[in-house]
Structure 1
Amino acid sequence: MEQAQEVDRKNTVVSGGSRFEGSIHISEEVIVELTKKTIQGIPNIQTATTGIASKFGIGRKSSEGVRVTVEDGEVPSISVEAYVLVKYGQRIPDLAWDVQEKIKANLERYTGYTVNSVNINVQGIYVDEPVVLAESEDAEDAQENEIESADADEEKKAGE
């Protein structure tokens, strides 16, 4: 039967009475994914893009509205920049505060790292049903075609 392993703050793993030294490093990409999943779980908010610099890999690590900086140390620390869109009609300061608190709590819970800062950058607002021009034009054309074919069928029946 296997005994559970315990890890103390100095990264010493204790297993079955024996000790060995080692370190644990969590990738920045993992922290970015944890942050994005946290944001996705919060209603009335969604991630936004961070701009053209992130698409070319310029600057800090970023992915779909989240930038993360990890400072190594005895207990590593994290700084997060989140770029979000808020649903129209929501109180932005209250929602941003909730997002900060949830991101901080989840990152500390899942990584064991200290969170130095969580900066929320509200880049815009969104509505439930975005209006897409191309789709609405196609729908109008389809509706006009249906009306024209119905009129042609009626004229055909009237002529008989």
Structure 2
Amino acid sequence: MERQIHKIHQNGDVGTVHIADEVIAIIAGLAATEVDGVVGMVGNLAGDLVELLGKKNLAKGINVEVMEDTVALDLAIIVAFGCSIVQVTKNVQEKVKSAVETMTGLVVSEVNIKVAGVDVEKK
């Protein structure tokens, strides 16, 4: 897979800043997993294989599409049983949008979430 890198800032004589899609995905993944009710991220959005990802693999479960100065994100999560899916996904969208915008300076146009499962294990 070819690594996508985008220019996000050019400041005259100081230089240019480039950011990789993988970096944006990691920021989004970490933000999503900090939300109460999110058990984890899922590794394969398109396929039937559902792989719960640890912190080291968060970027693999997120699709990043950068257009000029905006970014759209698709991610899949596992929600804890008993949590409101509507509230958890809303919180994930807000947290991911805020984290990506704050850290990259890009405008997040959309955060699309697929709830890939519910964790029913008693802890």
Q: TM-score, normalised by structure 2?
A: 0.74
Q: Is the 8 A contact 1:47 1:64 kept in 2?
A: no
Question: Relative contact order (alpha carbons < 8 A, sep ≥ 6): 1 or 2 greater?
Answer: 2
Instruction: Say if 1:67 and 1:82, in contact at 8 Å, map to a contact too.
Output: yes
Q: CA deviation at 1:12?
A: 1.8
Structure 1 residue ranges without an equivalent (≥5): 1-8, 14-19, 56-61, 131-160
Tell me how far 1:50 sits from its aligned partner. Answer: 1.8
Larger gyration radius, structure 1 or structure 2 = 1
Report what 1:67 is aligned to.
Answer: 63
1:140 corresponds in structure 2 to: none
Which consecutive aligned stretches of 4+ in structure 1 deviate over 4 angstroms post-superposition? Answer: none
For 1:47, what is the secondary structure of its paired residue? strand
Higher helix share: 1
Map of 1:145 onto structure 2 = none
What residue in structure 2 maps to residue 135 of structure 1? none
SS at match of 2:16: coil
In the TM superposition, what whole-angstrom CA distance separates every residue of 1:43-65 from its partner, at most 9, and x where no partner exists? 22121122576x9xxxxxx9442
**How do 1:82-93 residues align onto structure 2 when only pairs under 5 Å count?**
82-93=75-86
- C-alpha distance in 2 between matches for 1:52 and 1:79: 17
Q: TM-score, normalised by structure 1?
A: 0.58
Richer in strand (by share): 2
- Which secondary structure state, in structure 1, belongs to the residue aligned with residue 113 of structure 2? strand
Partner residue of 2:10?
11
In percent, how many aligned pairs have the same letter? 25
- In structure 1, the residue matched to 2:32 is 39
Aligned counterparts, 1:133-144, within 5 A:
none
Letter in 1 for 2:27: L
Quote the RMSD (CA, aligned, Å). Answer: 2.5
Q: Which range is displaced more, 87-96 or 37-46?
A: 37-46
